[in-house]
Homo-oligomer: A and B are copies of this chain.
Amino acid sequence: MTDVLTSADPIVWPNGKKAAAAFTFDVDAETPLLAADPSLAQRMGLIAHQAYGPLVGVPAILKAMREVGVRGSFFVPGYTALRYAEQIRMIVADGHEIGHHGHLHEPLAGVTEAQERTFLERGLDALHKICGVTPKGYRAPIWELNWRTPALLGEAGFLYDSSLMDADYPYELAYGDQGRSLVELPINWILDDWQQFAYIPGFSGCGVIETPAKAIALFTAEFEAMRANGGLWVLTCHPFLSGRPGRVAALKGLMQHVADCDDVWLAPLEEIAEYVRSQKLTPRTLNEPNPSL
């Protein structure tokens, strides 16, 4: 325990804004299922349920964002880009950010460093091939990093990660021992539509499906408090879930509300990360705990 663990400091936001917000989307499609068990590819019903995300959810969400005038961040597994190229290119065409989300949404817990590097490379290749994009941002599948992952991301040229839950403010996440760091844009389970909506029999969910109004109430309570605190509010939605009509309608209302808040800077994560980088913050360290302490 050579480091003293500290919390992230508040940020001075640009242009007199008092807080920041971002609408982000993880375009998983069927990747979480295939990564867990490739034989699930044989189940047409499950695959169709997930395919709704890129095929229907993405266009519906893009339409709502155009109407409100919001730009956001879409984290796209490489596999999703290859299989649903046309839909993923629509995201780029609308001016949204494309971020890295693994290749087949591979969970990082328990994998080797070589495997992690392969996931990064395959995802980068696919996003470049399909969208002509080299993403600045990374989001770990299931938001689960290994302790070595920040260094791998930094070495691979990423500006930021958006997977950790230990802060209300963005920060510079130190890695290695030469003062290097990665911008971290923290997220939270509260601001994830999966816990509110997901039901994938035999894979995820206990069966409870909430109303759009309940989910929006949850997201909004956190937004108003983050706004008062000057923090960064990052909502994460999955097009196969939040792309359903009743949910898009509710989400659009929330987008309009956030966009109408003049004191809040609403932007894609990469713009927020670049601003954070410009602030030359002192990097923070979170070190691996020692259970025998």
The interface of chain A, by Cβ under 8 A from chain B, is: 1, 4-8, 30, 34-35, 38, 41-49, 51-52, 54-56, 59, 79, 82-84, 86-87, 104, 109, 140, 142-147, 149, 163-168, 188-190, 194-196, 198-199, 201, 204-214, 217-218, 221-226, 228-229, 231, 244-250, 286, 288-293
Contacts and interface: CB of A to CB of B under 8 A. Distances in A.
Contact of A56 (B1, B140, B166, B248): B166
Given A34-B291, A38-B291, A163 B221 contact: no
A195 B209 contact: yes
A222 B60 CA distance: 14
Given A1-B83, A7-B56, A229-B245, A166 B208 contact: no
A144 B45 contact: yes
A183 to B, nearest CB: 15
A293 B286 CA distance: 36
B45 A168 contact: no
A142 B214 CA distance: 26
A201 to B, nearest CB: 6
Nearest to A218: B211
A208 B207 contact: yes
A142 to B, nearest CB: 6
Contact of A55 (B41, B144, B167, B288): B167
A209 B221 contact: no
B209 A231 contact: no
Contact of A289 (B34, B194, B221): B34
A106 to B, nearest CB: 11
A102 B38 CA distance: 27
A51 B207 contact: no
12 contacts: A1-B82, A34-B289, A43-B109, A45-B145, A45-B163, A168-B245, A189-B199, A195-B207, A195-B209, A213-B221, A223-B246, A225-B246
Given A41-B288, A207-B198, A289-B47, A7 B226 contact: no
A245 B190 CA distance: 11
Contact of A246 (B55, B83, B224, B244): B224
A165 B48 contact: yes
Contacts of A291: 34-35, 38, 41, 79, 104
Contact of A83 (B5, B54, B247): B5
Contacts of A84: 5
